[in-house]
Chains A and B, each alone.
Chain A
């Protein structure tokens, strides 16, 4: 891998230096010191002072999740001015790249954000084009905002107490993830330090049946649950033995407490608890790792276990741990470490679900770098143990669900567009039969409508321009972390890709490329408009010879990007700027630096004079879709005469029909011109010939069959045969 890494670095440096004149992101895949993730003195490695103005000194990492305190003033007269947190200490929410945007966040003692600094991101969208400053500007919207506010991407909705933030066009997923990171991090720390009051949950009313289930029954009911971590989950060698295997359960419930601890010990324990205090037990039945660790020895904090309920997290001090002297339930596994932990908070309720979290470290075997890895298991007292059963729990919608809900109208319209285009295409023959070479409007009316809608609504409106970067992102996500939520948070792209995948299999890539790709539509529309406004005489096609050579370029671009992506996805994403989509739709022609604008404008300008130059020769997305199009199920129709007739080939805008009359389905963009000819008895030479023959011979003109010929007139021989037989 060293060789590959070296190669990657060389490639990177070559490309970086060659593009140095472009506005380059400086935190993209920035190299951060390993210590930043683990060292107690976070601020030795991170620019804490930049996000917490006024602070001159900082504490070590503390709390769970971790944060640092910032102080003003000299030793002895230090005054707490706020808190600094590293986003990855708190949440591993991935952004569009599948990796987190590592953010340093400052919050004052009043719970207001006072500084946000991106330390490292892997967002390709922010590499080029959308300047990193856009994300910085986005983050600045948080400054002064109270962490307890409802902050969402989009419009402010005062009636719902929602404060809206302006998104970055074209980087919706990134900012949705970033908002989640900001709010999760801020609230986690604000709750710990008491700025945000914990949610008060209604306490459980236990149903005391006097039952005394054994261990197996407790496990079956979910009253005792297991948390196991395999060695490979923390970057160790695979092994038969778990890294750690824990069992835990809630003890306040009389049936469960008695069953687990035994009557006497349970009463004793309950006598120790004050109102609003909760006990749970933990035993380790496997593995060598300790769940207690040594943090409680040094600082009195158990830093390897935690309980989370909703947004509240509960950690344990040494004073919250009580010896577990034994498990009374028959059938309990042997264990080598045990404890009873006490949650001392009214915010916790046994009636609602909670999670027991084992806070581990993952060691990267290659680099030895450590990162936090948390493992949790949900626990919810079974129905039968609660008076009235489990309460209803309203979980807030996931961000992607909110996106789908808020944009429901557009989503429905978009889906309708996709379905109707597919339907129109499925019934294309009804249209092509109506159309003639002279009058293609029965087809073109639909096609041009699709273009216009896709340029205006899909492209400029919804910014739903599919891109090769998405293909590369899938590769990345497949390799690292595939999160449906992530892809779902851009519903238009998500739907678009479902449409693309299905139609590529059924008909080939032409339907997307020729009918719905916003840039392709724009490109061809310009060509058509150009022709219509009298530029027809300047319009040209590349000679077939050159076309046949240049059409391979796009495959080269695609394979080039793919190959580069194996070494550096980031670099590949940068090189994917060969697509002018971002410039055209996502950012806007006039919002980018001139080289991009020039490139996109040049391609569009060229489109006026030759049909779809980018699509034919450069588009890596088209290339990637063209390859599976080889195996589309249903192709376009041909007649035997096509092998010598050039009528269609001459009129084929995408130059997809070769000298033998064969259609190259990788190149075909489903303009359907040849299909119009196929049934046009005035334009298709074999048909015209037959029409003339029949007209001359006074034979009736029968309808054109599915094979593209007149239905033959052969009634007589059949009858003669029948008579002969008789």
Chain B
């Protein structure tokens, strides 16, 4: 057990005042160094510490040891019990980890090209990614932050996961049967697309108890349309909250709002979606963004918005055909017709998370050391006109520590919030916090605190975002790893830490370095995912199912090379082209054996891609270099893998 943890138990959840002081000072120094002299509203060093956790049980070290034996170090052949879906940050990918081992099992390319799979090289992937008129990729960079998966009955159903690209405002869908990206949608009228969250059921139709919408928030405000007009008038900049159809991946509608969107959450009854807003000021520079004491959590009444769209009460902007409804405060003053509801939250909140009991959304203060608990029933009351002020929906606003960002849940009434500035995770009890806020000062709502290394951002627990939160494992995405790994030069990995939360006390179990830089993640039970072992050949229109179809087919300059692979050979041991040919090469992997993937590389033509069992992929290129080019299998497949080649002969 590390010293940190020992210290933690000794401290019994109470922040060490001296350390706190140091950290705060350092944080201030950092901020000050950036040329800033803004007071953090409630962040006074003199302030008494937040209510401490009750006295520690008699043997604090023994208890965690007992529940910590669940074993994160799997024996050879043992399988992880959870899937973790991680965003990759500006590597632009989607990652799959096994938990609790923390082993990275897979990366799914979506927004950016991938040399291993040929994503961005094959015609099929290019079609999904989007191309310019000349056939080249429209974008080759992306920044993925949040990934969430589809729901049914309040739990994951293993159909889809979605992930955002903040740079180019794109939403990608991952099929969880093949773990591939099958659709990418670019959101119109927005920039800085950040938070996403699928709905959990339809607000109106009780039969639709599964995800049909994905909500997307945009952080950056821009002129509408963003086509050169109003570029110098930030007051005309606007942000929108978008809804994408989960099946078609078409944008269903957008809501024009005041301020911006950060993260998103949805209610278990399907009626509400929400985004936290840190820039209600609509500032352009961060001092402006920090000017208001309270920002907001903005609620969307999904049913009313869709009725409004149906009723034709929308506008469109620029080339976009997407209906945009007006969700500004000004237009939504009457609760009974309002599309949106603004609940205030202290200073630049970060993160909005739905509790697994379906009752509350919790916003973390970021620049306020508080967490705000908003009761959804009361928000709905407001929409009915039965609540005099939207802020009455706030049932608790309690101090939990410095720099609270994101909150996870264990299904036993506890919330776990990352404290960025304190480099801690605080475990606090929601009910007690509510009672405390109601005036019962005896409520010790902070249960435990744990130092993490260092400065955590996102946090999530196993099944935390479902009604089936099981309170077993907690993952913390620490933004800085500093001294935690062998140094590899100036660039450090992120530090994903695994915490056992099955007991009263949190127990830090493991550090895992991850390539920068994942933001958010979800953790779900392995039983919820049913991946297919090989592709269905019928899903590929170009598939070469019959060996007789293999060959070279020429129509003038256009040449189609149809091949199939079957370990350890390609169906064509050679194929002849002429300089100037416009070649489309189609390759089907006819092997129907699990894990028998073939690769296909063409030297000097910058082509490499793989075909998984029963998959078909194609590439199009111009035969502009004469000569012999040994195409070969790049993905180890067979004892005769090295011999698996085909000669591409380009005749001058």
Residues of A within 8 A of B (CB): 264-265, 268, 271-272, 296-297, 299-300, 317-319, 323, 325, 336-337
Task: Collect the chain B residues with CB atoms within 8 Å of residue A264's CB.
Answer: 527
Compute how far the CA of A271 lies from the CA of B159 in the bound complex, rounded to whole angstroms.
13
Taking the closest CB of chain A, its distance from the CB of B402, in whole angstroms, is 40
What per-residue 1/0 map shows which CB atoms of B60-104 lie under 8 Å from chain A?
000000000000000001010100000000000000000000000
Within 8 A of A (CB), among B568-606: 592-596
Cβ distance B76 to chain A, nearest Cβ, rounded Å: 11
SS class, residues of chain B in contact with chain A: loop
A323-B596 CB under 8 A given contacts A264-B527, A268-B530, A318-B533: no
Closest 3 CB pairs of A and B: A300-B593, A318-B594, A265-B527
Asked whether any CB of chain A lies closer than 8 Å to the CB of B622, the reply is no
Q: How far is the CB of A291 from chain B (nearest CB, A)?
A: 13
Question: In chain B, residues 517-545, which have Cβ atoms closer than 8 Å to a Cβ of chain A?
Answer: 526-528, 530, 533-534
A271–B81 alpha-carbon span in the complex (Å): 21
Interface size on B, residues (CB 8 A): 14
- Asked if A272 contacts B530 (CB within 8 A), the reply is yes
A26 to chain B, nearest CB (A): 39
Note all chain A residues with C-beta closer than 8 A to B526: 323, 325
Would you list 6 pairs from A and B whose C-beta atoms are within 8 A, ordered by A residue? A271-B530, A297-B595, A300-B593, A318-B593, A323-B79, A325-B527
B residues near A268, Cβ cutoff 8 Å: 527-528, 530
Q: A319 near B79 (CB under 8 angstroms)?
A: no
Separation of A299 and B533 alpha carbons in the complex (Å): 15
- A300 neighbours in B (Cβ, 8 Å): 592-594, 596
Q: Determine the chain B residues whose CB is within 8 A of the CB of A272 once the complex forms.
A: 530
Report Cα–Cα, A271/B527, bound state, in Å.
12
Residues of B within 8 A of A271 (CB): 530
A317 partner residues in chain B, CB cutoff 8 A: 593
Which of A265, A268, A300, A317 has the largest number of chain B CB atoms within 10 A?
A: A300
A319 touches B534 (CB 8 A): yes
Q: How far is the CA of A296 from the CA of B594 in the complex (A)?
A: 9
Instruction: Report Cα–Cα, A682/B533, bound state, in Å.
Output: 100
Q: How many A-B residue pairs have CB under 8 A?
A: 31
- Chain A residues, Cβ within 8 Å of B527: 264-265, 268, 325
Task: Verify B594–A319 contact, CB threshold 8 A.
Answer: yes
**Besides A297-B595, A319-B594, A325-B79, 17 other CB < 8 A contacts?**
A264-B527, A268-B527, A268-B528, A268-B530, A271-B530, A272-B530, A296-B594, A299-B593, A300-B592, A300-B593, A318-B533, A319-B533, A323-B79, A323-B526, A325-B81, A325-B527, A336-B77
CA distance A442 to B23 in the complex (A): 127
Complex Cα distance, B524 from A466, in Å, reads: 75
Contacts of A265 in B (CB 8 A): 527
Chain B residues near A336 (CB, 8 Å)? 77
The chain B residue sitting closest to A265, CB to CB, is B527
Closest chain A residue to B158 by CB distance? A268
How far, in Å, is B612 (CB) from chain A's closest CB? Answer: 13
In the complex the two chains form, what is the Cα distance from A268 to B156 in whole Å?
12
A265 to chain B, nearest CB (A): 5
Nearest neighbor of B594 in chain A, beta-carbon distance? A318
Q: Tell me the smallest distance from the CB of A544 to a CB of chain B, in Å.
A: 82
Cβ contacts under 8 Å, B594 to chain A: 296, 300, 318-319
Question: Quick one: closest A residue to B81, CB to CB?
Answer: A325
- Cβ–Cβ < 8 Å partners of A323 in chain B: 79, 526
Residue A319 contacts which of B81, B530, B592 (CB distance < 8 angstroms)?
B592
CB-defined contacts of B530 to chain A, threshold 8 Å: 268, 271-272
Rounded to whole Å, the gap between the CB of A281 and the closest CB of chain B is 14
Q: Tell me the bound Cα distance from A319 to B81 in angstroms.
A: 21
How far apart are B292's CB and chain A's nearest CB, in angstroms?
46
Chain B proximity of A221: nearest CB distance (Å): 26
A90 to B55, CA, bound (A): 72
Q: Which residues of B contact A297 (CB under 8 A)?
A: 595
The CA of A300 and the CA of B614, in the complex, are separated in Å by: 14
CB distance from B15 to the nearest CB of A (A): 40
A323 to B528, CA, bound (A): 12
**Chain B residue with Cβ nearest A269:** B530
Give the Cβ gap from B253 to chain A, nearest Cβ, in Å.
Answer: 32
- Please name all residues of chain A whose beta carbon is closer than 8 Å to the beta carbon of B596 when the two chains form the complex: 300
Residue of A nearest to B75 (CB): A336
A75 to chain B, nearest CB (A): 12
Q: How far is the CA of A317 from the CA of B534 in the complex (A)?
A: 12
CA distance A287 to B560 in the complex (A): 55
In the bound complex, CA of A265 to CA of B594 (Å): 23
CA A317 – CA B81 in complex, angstroms? 24
Q: How far is the CA of A593 from the CA of B564 in the complex (A)?
A: 64
Closest to A267 in B: B527
- Per the bound structure, the CA–CA distance linking A265 and B528 in Å amounts to 8
Q: How far is the CB of A406 from chain B (nearest CB, A)?
A: 48
Q: How far is the CB of A518 from chain B (nearest CB, A)?
A: 63
Given the complex, which residues of A lie within 8 Å of B595, measured CB to CB?
297, 318
What is the bound-complex CA distance between A300 and B594, given in angstroms?
7
Distance of A76 from chain B, by nearest CB (Å): 10
Residue in A closest to B639 when the chains form the complex, CB atoms? A298
Nearest-CB residue, chain B, relative to A296: B594
- Tell me which residues across on chain A come within 8 A of B593, comparing CB atoms: 299-300, 317-318
Closest to B593 in A: A300
Bound CA–CA A296/B592 (angstroms): 12
- Tell me the nearest residue of chain B to A336, going by C-beta: B77
Assembled-state Cα–Cα distance A387/B420 (Å): 62
Residue among B81, B527, B592, B595 with the most chain A CB within 10 A?
B527
Q: Residues of A contacting B77 with CB < 8 Å? A: 336-337
Cα–Cα, bound, A544→B458 (Å): 113
Which residues in A have their C-beta under 8 angstroms from that of B528? Answer: 268
Q: Which residues of A contact B79 (CB under 8 A)?
A: 323, 325
In the complex, residue of chain B having the shortest beta-carbon distance to the beta carbon of A338: B79
Determine the chain A residues whose CB is within 8 A of the CB of B533 once the complex forms.
318-319
The docked-state distance in angstroms from the alpha carbon of A318 to that of B596 is 11
Q: A299 to B566, alpha carbons, bound, how many Å? A: 12
The CA-CA distance from A323 to B532 in the complex, in Å, is 12
Cα of A319 to Cα of B593 in the assembled complex, Å: 7
User: Please, how many angstroms separate the alpha-carbon atoms of A300 and B81 in the complex?
Assistant: 25
Interface centre among B77, B592, B593 (most CB of A within 10 A): B593
Bound Cα distance A54, B122 (Å): 45
